[in-house]
Structures are given as structure tokens and as C-alpha cells.
Amino acid sequence: MSATAQSSVVIEHEVGLHARPSVKLTQLAKSFQSRIEIATAAEGPWIDAKSIVKVMGSKTPKGALLHVRAEGEDAETAVQAIVALVERDFETA
Amino acid sequence: MSTNVGIVIVSHSPDVAKGAADMVRQMVGDDVPLAWCGGAPGGGLGTSVEAIMAAIDRAWSEAGVAILVDLGGAETNSEMAIEMLPDERRDRVVICNAPVVEGAVMAGTEASAGSPLEHVRRTAEELRAA
């Protein structure tokens, strides 16, 4: 069964979506089957959350509203997990 | 033994190689086999084929090993080290055409998710176009 899910969360991390947070977000995204994308605006551009180069290259700053969307069997869980990661400031659960 | 692709860092400077490896460990975690080597056998800057072969062995994974190198000799010595590996390992070791520190973190991140060797290399090399 394929599903879609979408949510958004404000990045509060001191340096934004830089090196270490990017690695954590990418690693988490890769643990799901769904296609997962992130964007800093609802209209895009959307980038592949499983691509470390693209995520780090997005240079998303502190205070940015990060949009997360997923499509696939575990879409809902994936979006929730990524939003939770950002909410807990990228600390390991 | 980890089933994830291993990462080897080769620099002329042992400090650079160790520092880059520390970054991979701290940023990516412990799920990736990782080894580094650097410095000439007699001390000073340089790289050695033997040390590179030993590093490949330490970071060995059945999924293969991706090597990150800094300058000229590091690459040619790494090529030589790969040539001297046993037949069954030779085809599972690649040199990434990427900056050593950034490439190691990118490759390590990709490897930590269980991606195949070719995918790990492509991610490190994607940096150049990004």
C-alpha cells in the first residue's frame, strides 16, 4: 500500500541544517523505504532527503520552516520521525 | 564484521588522515569500517603502498572499500596498493575522485545506510558537481 504524508517543522538548531544535522537527517531518511523529500518552501524546490550532498548543499539556516513529505508504505512514520529529529535538535533519540 | 562499505583515508600527513577519520567517526557514527594512513615510512610527509594495503585490510568489508586520497602520490600509491591485493578483493576497492575530508564524510554517510560501493563512490564524487 502506498501512502503520502507531509508536515513541516521549524529548524531551531544553532547552525541550521549544516554538516552534522544533515548527516543525521540523511541517515534517518535512508532507514525508510519511502521516497522522502524536504524543502524550505511549500512550493519547492524539493530535494531528496536521502542525498547527503543535496541536504548539506541546501544550507538551510536556523529559523527556516522545513517542509517534509514522503510517499511510500512507511510515509507517515518517516515524516513523523524526521520532524521529531528536528524537534529534538538533532540529538540521538 | 560490518556489511557496510568500508572507508580508507590516505593523506601525506598522518594528522590530516587521522583528523578526517575522527570527523567521519563523530559525524557518521560507528557503523562504518574505517581506517586511515599517512606519512612516509621513515617519518615526514608521504604515503606508502604497504601502509595503504594494511589500512584497506583494517577497513575491509565484503561490500568493499572506498578510498579517499589527497594529492598525487596518495592516488598513485593507492592504485598500486589495489593492484597488489588478492584477486578476490581487487575489484571491490575503488578510489573516489573527491576532496579527502568532505568526500570521506559524504562517503561515510552513504556507507552507513548500507549502500553498495558504486553508490558510495558516486555520492562522494557528487560533491564536485554540487
Nearest to A10 by CA among A69, A61, A81: A61
Q: Output the pLDDT for position A72.
A: 97
Instruction: Evaluate whether ipTM surpasses 0.90.
Output: no
Average pLDDT over chain B reads 95
pLDDT (tens place) for every residue of chain A, 93 residues total: 679 999 999 999 888 888 899 999 999 999 999 999 999 998 989 999 999 999 999 989 999 999 999 999 999 999 999 999 999 999 876
| Closest Cα in chain A, distance from residue B103 (Å) | 10
Domains, chain B: 6-129 (3.40.50.510)
Please, which residues have CB within 8 angstroms of residue A8's CB and are 6 or more apart in sequence? A42, A65, A66, A67, A68, A83
Architecture of domain A3-87: 2-Layer Sandwich (3.30)
A67 is catalytic: no
Interface test with B, best of A28, A53, A90 (most B CBs within 10 A): A53
Q: Output the pLDDT for position A11.
A: 93
C-alpha cell at position B2 = 560490518
Please, which residues have CB within 8 angstroms of residue B127's CB and are 6 or more apart in sequence? A53, B98, B99, B102, B103, B106
Interface test with A, best of B26, B28, B109, B122 (most A CBs within 10 A): B109
